Amino acid sequence: MEKNPNLFHLKKRTVISTISLFFQSGYSAVLGLVANLVLTIIFSPKIFGIYITVLSIISLLNYFSDVGLAASLIQKKEIDEDDVKTAFTFQQLLIVSLIIIGYFLTSFVKSFYQLPEGGIYLYWALLFSFFLSSLKTIPSVFLERKIEYQKIVLVQVVENTVFYVTVILFALTGFQLLSFAFAVIFRSIVGLILIYSISFWLPKVGISFSHLKKLLSFGLPFQASSFLALFKDDLITLYLGKVLGFEGLGYIGWAKKWAEAPMRIIMDNLSRVLFPLISRLQHDKKNISRLVEKILNYQTLLLAPAIVGLALIMNRLIHVIPKYGKWQQALPLFYLFCLSALFSSYSTPFINLFNALGRVKISFIFMVFWTISTWILTTSLTKAFGFYGFPITQVILSASFMLVVYQAKKIIRFNFLKPIYQPLIAAFIMGILAFFLIYLAPVSFINLTIIILLTSLIYFYILFFLFKINLITEIRKLFSYE
C-alpha cells in the first residue's frame, strides 16, 4: 500500500480492531464452549431446540428493526447530526411497533409451537432485550465508522461473560428455560450501560425526510439482502422446528453450531472490519485487490486446518465428555455442515466487498437465489431424507461460492487460487495423518489433547517444509504495515 499518513492510521486502527475482535472471539469461544458443554449436558435436545426456535423468532423481528440505516451511516463518507437523529428516530418507531406486534402474537406463538410456560417467559425476555439492544445502535455506529472495534469488543466480552455465567448458574439451580430468560435480560442491561459510558451519545428525536431518503437509498437494498438471509436461515429454522420437532431441530442446531464455530470466530471478525475498511478505500481498487488476496490467504490458513481437525476429533470428543453420547445421532449432520462451512467461507468476503463498494444489488441477487433455492431444496429434501435434508441443502448451495467469485472478478482483479491452494493441500495431508493418529490411540481426554497439539504441529511443518510458509511469520504480516 502507498505509505501516506491517513492510510497508515487507517491500517493501524484496522490492525488494533482485528486483534481485538480475534481476542473477543477467542475469549467468547472458550467461554461459549464451556457453557455449551454444561448446558448440553444439563438440558435435553428438546429444551435446546426450544431455545433455538424462540431465538429465531426474535431474529425475525430484528431484521425489520433497522431497514439498513446503521449500515448506511457506516458506509457514507460523511454524516451529520440530522443523519444520526433521523436514523435513531426511525429505528425506534420500527422497534416499538415490532415489540407491540410481537407481544400480541404471544398466544399464536405459544399454540403454534406448543411452548411451555418457560418458553413464553423466554420469548418476552428476548422482546425486552430486543428494545435495549436497539438503543446501542448509534454509539456502536460511531465506533465502527472510526474502526475502533476494540471498544465494541470490550462491551461484547462483558456481555458474553454476564450471559454465560448467568445461564450456567441458573441452569445448575434448576431453572431450565428461565435460565436463558434471566441471562438475556442481564446481558442487555449491562451492555447498554457500558456502551454509553464508552461512546456517549445523547439520543435526539426528529426525522428529516430528505436525509431519510438518502439513507434508505442504500439501506433498503442492503436490508433487503439481510431480510432474505433471515428468510433463508431463521425462518427455515422455524419450519424445521415444526416439521422435525424440537428434538430434531436440537440435533441440527448442535451440529451446525459446532461445525460453524471456526468460521464464526475467524470469518465473522474479518468481515466486520472488512466492510468499513473497504468503504474507506472504495476508490482505491489496487489496494482493495491486495486486501482481498490477503484475506483469502489468511482465512484459509486458519480455517482449513480448524474445520478438518474439528471434523476428525468430534467422534472421539462426544465419548470423552460425560453424558455427551446423546449427540451421536447428530454426527453425520455435523460432517455435512463442516463441508458447507468451508465452501461458504469463500462467499462471505465478496458479499462484504459488494456492499462496501455500494454494489448492494449484486448481494441482493445472490441472496434471492440462495433464499429461493434453500426453501425449495430444504422442503423437498427434508421430506425425502428427514434430518439430513437441510444439511445436504447447505452443502449444495455453499458450492455456489464459485459464482460469487466469478462476479467479484468482474469488479476487481485478483487471483483466487494462488492464496488458498497451499493451505488446503497442507490441511488435507494433515487430515490424513491425523485420521490414523486418532483412530489408533485409545479414547481418553489426555490422548485427544495430545493429538490436537500434535496435528497442529504437523500442519505447521507441512506448510514450512512443503511450501516454505512460516505460519507465525504469515500471521505477523497480517498485522504489519506493508
Residues 285-297 pLDDT 10s:
777 888 888 889 8
Task: Give a yes or no: residue 93 inside a domain.
Answer: no
Asked whether residue 124 is assigned to any structural domain, the reply reads no
481 pLDDT above the threshold of 50: no
Q: Which of 73-87, 158-172, 408-422 has the highest mean pLDDT?
A: 408-422
User: 272 in a domain, yes or no?
Assistant: yes
CB 147 within 8 A of CB 356: no
The rounded distance, in Å, linking the Cα atoms of 127 and 123 is 6
Region 230-247 average pLDDT: 79
pLDDT, tens digit (0-9, with 9 covering 90-100), for 307-324: 999 999 898 888 887 778
- Residues 115-161 have pLDDT tens digits of 788 888 888 988 898 888 889 888 988 888 877 778 888 888 898 88
Domain that residue 399 falls in: 260-482
Q: Tell me, what's the pLDDT at 1?
A: 38
Report yes or no on 456 lying in a domain. yes
**52 vs 166: which has the higher pLDDT:** 166
Domains contained in the chain, number: 1
Diameter of the chain by CA atoms? 69
Instruction: Supply the pLDDT for residue 5.
Output: 47
Is 87 part of a structural domain of the chain? no
Given a cut of 50, whether residue 482 has pLDDT beyond it is no
CA geometry: angle 61, 273, 304, nearest 5 deg: 95
pLDDT score, position 8: 54
80-94, 280-294, 375-389, 440-454: which is most confident: 375-389
Among the listed residues 30, 34, 39, 329, the one whose alpha carbon sits nearest the alpha carbon of residue 180: 39
Please, which residues have CB within 8 angstroms of residue 370's CB and are 6 or more apart in sequence? Answer: 228, 232, 397, 400
**289 within a domain of the structure (yes/no):** yes
Residue 395 covered by a domain: yes
pLDDT for the residue numbered 373: 93
Which residue bears the cell 482485528?
18
Does residue 5 fall inside a structural domain?
no
Instruction: Find the mean pLDDT for residues 152-175.
Output: 85
| pLDDT band, residue 230 (cuts 50/70/90) | low
| 375-431: pLDDT as tens digits | 999 999 999 998 899 999 999 999 999 999 999 999 888 999 999 999 999 999 999
Are 423 and 463 in contact, with CB atoms under 8 Å apart? yes
Of 26-30, 70-74, 244-248, the one with minimum mean pLDDT is 26-30
Residue-wise pLDDT for 177-189, tens only, equals: 888 889 889 988 9
Apex CA 441: angle with CA 437 and CA 444, to 5°? 125
More confident residue, 196 or 283: 196
Averaged pLDDT of the chain: 82
Q: What percent of the chain has pLDDT over 70?
A: 83
* Residues 6 or more apart in contact with residue 430 via CB below 8 angstroms: 305, 308, 309, 455, 458, 459, 462
pLDDT score recorded for residue 183:
87
Give the model's pLDDT for residue 233.
Answer: 73
Residue 306 has pLDDT above 70, yes or no: yes
Q: Residue 275: which pLDDT band, with cuts at 50, 70 and 90?
A: low
**Does position 46 have pLDDT exceeding 50, yes or no?**
yes
Please state, as a whole number, how many other Cβ atoms lie within 10 Å of the Cβ of residue 118. Answer: 18
pLDDT computed for residue 2 by the predictor: 43
